[in-house]
Amino acid sequence: MARLLHVVGSPRGERSASVEVAEAYIAAYQGRHPGAAIDTLDLWREPLPEFDRPALEAKYAGLAGVERSAEQNRAWDGIRALAQRFHDADVVVFSIPMWNFGIPYKLKHLIDYISQKDVLFRFDASGFEGMLKGKKAIVVCARGISYATGTSTPEAEYDFQKAFMLLWLRFIGITDAETIVVEQTLMGPDADRQARQQGIERARALAQG
């Protein structure tokens, strides 16, 4: 059975452009894969554990190859349990608004928490190896204005949203990643509707691939 994980990075719920487009992809995906299991990780509804001192000590114990304490094991078990949802998924869909040219802090929290050696990646003297090979990602990026080349905010200089997500996905082994950019959502209702509709159409097309 196909499994899809939806990581919700926007707190706006049904008003969110990124969520609306992501849900269009998910609906089309379900149409193509009847019975697909959908796991929703809403970062604004599901409390994320802190990457605190026990978690950090558990990390360094693992790196040093020494036995973890009971407290450290509990912290590490939490990290592995949350990361397992990514391992279990065939497709990971992200709905992400742009905040201050980057991603919301809740999503960064998740990434910092689960991006651990022998959890999402491995490394040795030759470099890093991601552990999520063979999976697909759909990254929906919503932005209030245009970041096209030639504007005062060209993507090459201002985008720490899509660029960061694609880098992180490659790092953990997901090289099959598609992006859907929904821009100018703050440029009035007509521009907002048009951007959402274009995003929805692309989402539906990608789900058929």
At residue 185, the pLDDT reads: 96
C-alpha distance from residue 198 to each of 111, 115, 195 (Å):
29, 33, 5
Q: What is the reported pLDDT for 88?
A: 98
* Residue 58 three-state SS: helix
Which class for 38: exposed (0-12), middle (13-18), buried (19 or more C-beta within 10 A)? middle
**Can you count the helices (H) and strands (E) in the chain?**
7, 7
Going residue by residue through the chain, which has 209 residues, state the pLDDT in tens, using 9 for 90 and above: 899 999 999 999 989 999 999 999 999 999 999 999 999 999 999 999 999 999 999 999 999 999 999 999 999 999 999 999 999 999 999 999 999 999 999 999 999 999 999 999 999 989 999 999 999 999 999 999 999 988 999 999 999 999 999 999 999 999 999 999 999 999 999 999 999 999 999 999 999 97
In the chain, domain spans = 3-207
Q: Would you say 105 and 97 are in contact if contact means Cβ atoms under 8 Å apart?
A: no
**So what's the pLDDT on residue 94?**
98
At residue 1, the pLDDT reads 82
193 Cβ partners below 8 Å, 6+ apart? none
Output the pTM of the full model.
0.95
Superfamily the domain 3-207 falls into:
Flavodoxin domain (3.40.50.360)
